[in-house]
């Protein structure tokens, strides 16, 4: 079908503005009538996609999220067939934009930057040789000032005419960059039009990966490590672990009720704020009844009882050092992250052994399989050993937003068990006056909506909202 469509498209001689494309709800076959490669956003002209719209070619795809096209498909190519998924409930029509007429021996076009993060962006363009002049080199150049040239930072991307993309890296957060595509021939260097973009800012202590947590499209960042209470300090404080794989286990003496030890396993709702119950301190290990922990009765750690959430009530020293910047996910949000959200590659999680620590990796919404080849993805029954990752390899995954939840073990009273074997994390959602929800990870299975007695000491992994509804302090 795609080959037949490509033949039909290749035979069209009319201009783009003579062809009206009608999109019905759901999937549609569409033709691309222009004779030149064009960036998707430019080619669609005045058409405004809806959140969740998608385009597929024979080899790649893109989805429309947060006001831009994201994915491996960057441009429309003459002669190729495409499928467009429309989220609209009624048909809608548009016409493709008409490409600018090329001038000079080499016509260079700069694509709009996409997949912009804190330190990276995907740029590119296309080159047309109007008179057969050989394209010796092509690529992109960028700088923090207008009109960048190859005397500034640049990245070569092969030779010859045609489209190309390149990921530029090691950028500064919250910074405006100017980009131009370029092409070199024996006659000199030609540049495309200048485009600009601003790298993102992320909250202090956050991992640079966006995760959708509900059908509304709300997204969050995860913290850089599990929450820790440093009771051994002269003035105790809260912090995030230095590394994502860090677990304290029994090394600090948290298998006791001593107030002056470091901890990362907490009873439910033990933020230090008193909701009118018996056990609310981070060092509480009383295990007689779960009803002694968290708000009395059946209440979530939200709204009236939001201060029972560790991140809402406390300043995290390496997470902005201000109360209210962070929070814990609800039961439904944990379930959505693991089981429901749509990602560009379809990959949401994978079991792994990282730096000799067992756990599960969560991949952000824009994860690209070229970053790292993970095995047995989205498979709860997979073993930790299916992916063995060294620290040197992990830094690349982490840079692209990967989150690791280590097998924390759990505390029951003053006994700590299953460290490095099973992972237990709290949510803010209650089951009843004695039990609360969380996630449970172990070798060959996992449950992102597990529940246990509130007395159990579990890990806490905090998040912060991207949409600004949660107060944040940025770098």
Strands 349-354 and 388-389: parallel
- Strand partners of residue 410: 417
Instruction: Map tokens 């079991």 to a residue.
Output: 351
CA–CA distance, 122 with 179 (Å, rounded to integer): 11
Phi-psi region of 58 (alpha: psi -120 to 50; beta: other; left: phi over 0): alpha
Classify residue 252 by its DSSP letter.
T
b/e for 53-64, b at 16 or more Cβ within 10 A? Answer: bbbbbeeebbbb
CA distances from 312 to 67, 319, 333, 462 (A): 30, 12, 17, 10
Q: Which residues contact 301 (CB under 8 A, 6 or more apart)?
A: 268, 269, 294, 295, 308, 309, 328, 428
Q: What's the angle, vertex CA 60, arms to CA 54 and CA 61, rounded to 5?
A: 10
**Residue 340 contacts by C-beta under 8 Å, 6 or more apart in sequence?**
none
Strand partners, 121: 168
pLDDT at res. 11? 30
CB distance 180 to 166 below 8 Å: no
Strand partners of residue 263 = 229
DSSP 8-state class, residue 377: T
pLDDT in tens, 14-41: 344 467 899 999 999 998 888 777 778 7
Could you read off the pLDDT tens digit of each residue along the chain, which spans 475 residues?
333 223 222 233 334 446 789 999 999 999 888 877 777 877 887 888 998 899 998 888 888 887 778 887 878 888 788 999 999 999 999 988 876 544 457 899 999 999 888 788 999 999 998 778 889 999 999 999 998 998 899 999 999 999 999 999 888 878 999 999 999 888 888 999 999 999 988 889 999 899 999 999 999 999 999 999 999 999 999 999 999 999 999 889 999 989 999 999 999 999 999 999 999 999 998 877 889 999 998 999 999 999 999 999 999 999 999 999 999 999 999 999 999 999 999 999 999 999 999 999 999 999 989 899 999 999 999 999 999 999 999 999 999 999 999 999 999 999 999 999 999 999 999 999 999 999 999 999 999 999 999 999 999 999 998 854 443 333 3
pLDDT of residue 138: 94
- Residue 242: count other Cβ atoms within 10 Å of its Cβ: 11
* Sign (positive or negative) of CA dihedral 198, 199, 204, 207: positive
φ/ψ of 57, rounded to 5, equals: -105, -170
- Kindly give the pairing relationship between strand 137-143 and strand 237-240: unpaired
The pLDDT assigned to 406 comes to 98
CA distance 116 to 338: 24
pTM of the model: 0.65
Phi-psi region of 104 (alpha: psi -120 to 50; beta: other; left: phi over 0): left
CA distance 261 to 256: 9
Distance CA 242, CA 226 (A): 9
DSSP character at residue 414: T
- Report how far residue 303's alpha carbon sits from residue 428's, in angstroms, rounded to the nearest whole number: 11
> Which residues, in sequence order, are bridge partners of residue 464?
221
H or E stretch covering 339: none
Express each pLDDT in 277-297 by its tens digit: 999 999 998 877 889 999 998
In 3D space, the residue among 192, 130, 196, 200 whose CA is nearest the CA of residue 164 turns out to be 192
Beta strands 403-406 and 388-389 are unpaired
CA distance 289 to 15: 75
| pLDDT at res. 230 | 98
Question: Domains in the chain, start-ordered, CATH in brackets?
Answer: 2-94 (no CATH), 106-198 (2.60.40.10), 211-465 (no CATH)
For the sheet with 237-240, list strands across it.
Answer: 237-240, 227-230, 262-263
pLDDT at 99: 65
What pLDDT shows up at residue 102?
A: 47
Count the neighbouring beta carbons within 10 Å of the beta carbon of residue 304.
10
134: which 2 tokens? 């050989």
CA distances from 1 to 4, 5, 56, 68, 206 (A): 5, 6, 14, 29, 45
């Amino acid at each position: 079908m795609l080959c037949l469509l490509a033949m039909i498209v290749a035979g069209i001689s009319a201009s783009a503005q003579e062809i009206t494309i009608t999109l019905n709800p759901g999937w549609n076959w569409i033709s691309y009538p222009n004779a030149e490669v064009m960036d998707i956003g430019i080619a669609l002209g005045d058409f405004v996609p809806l959140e969740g719209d998608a385009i597929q070619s024979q080899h790649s795809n893109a989805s429309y999220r947060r006001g831009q096209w994201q994915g491996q498909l960057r441009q429309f190519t003459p002669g190729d067939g495409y499928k467009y998924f429309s989220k609209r409930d009624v048909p809608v029509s548009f016409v493709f934009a008409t490409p600018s007429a090329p001038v000079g021996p080499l016509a260079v076009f700069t694509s709009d930057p996409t997949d912009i993060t804190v330190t990276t962006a995907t740029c590119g363009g296309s080159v047309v040789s109007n008179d057969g002049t050989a394209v010796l080199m092509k690529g992109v150049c960028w700088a923090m000032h207008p009109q960048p040239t190859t005397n500034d930072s640049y990245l070569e991307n092969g030779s010859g005419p045609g489209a190309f993309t390149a990921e530029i890296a090691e950028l500064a957060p919250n910074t405006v960059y100017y980009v131009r595509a370029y092409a070199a021939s024996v006659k000199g260097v030609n540049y495309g039009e200048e485009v600009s973009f601003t790298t993102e800012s992320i909250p202090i202590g956050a991992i640079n990966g966006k995760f959708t947590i509900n059908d509304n499209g709300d997204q969050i960042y995860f913290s850089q490590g599990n929450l820790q209470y440093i009771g051994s300090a002269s003035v105790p404080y809260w912090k995030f672990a230095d590394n994502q794989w860090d677990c304290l286990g029994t090394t600090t003496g948290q298998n006791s009720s001593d107030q002056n030890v470091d901890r990362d396993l907490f009873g439910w709702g033990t933020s230090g704020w008193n909701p009118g119950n018996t056990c609310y301190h981070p060092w509480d290990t009383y295990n007689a009844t779960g009803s002694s922990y968290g708000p009395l009765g059946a209440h979530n750690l939200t709204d009236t009882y939001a201060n029972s959430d560790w991140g809402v009530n406390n300043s995290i020293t390496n997470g902005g050092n201000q109360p209210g910047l962070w929070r814990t996910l609800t039961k439904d949000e944990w379930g959505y992250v693991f089981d429901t959200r749509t990602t560009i590659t379809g990959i949401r999680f994978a079991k792994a052994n990282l730096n000799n620590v067992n756990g599960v990796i969560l991949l952000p919404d824009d994860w690209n399989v070229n970053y790292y080849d993970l095995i047995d993805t989205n498979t709860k029954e997979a073993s930790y050993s299916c992916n063995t990752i060294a620290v040197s390899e992990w830094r690349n995954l982490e840079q692209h937003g990967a989150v690791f939840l280590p097998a924390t073990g759990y505390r029951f009273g003053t006994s700590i068990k299953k460290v490095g074997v099973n992972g237990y994390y709290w949510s803010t959602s209650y089951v009843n006056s004695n039990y609360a929800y969380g996630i449970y990870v172990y070798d060959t299975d996992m449950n992102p909506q597990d529940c246990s007695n509130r007395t159990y000491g579990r890990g806490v992994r905090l998040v912060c909202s991207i949409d600004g509804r949660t107060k944040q302090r940025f770098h």
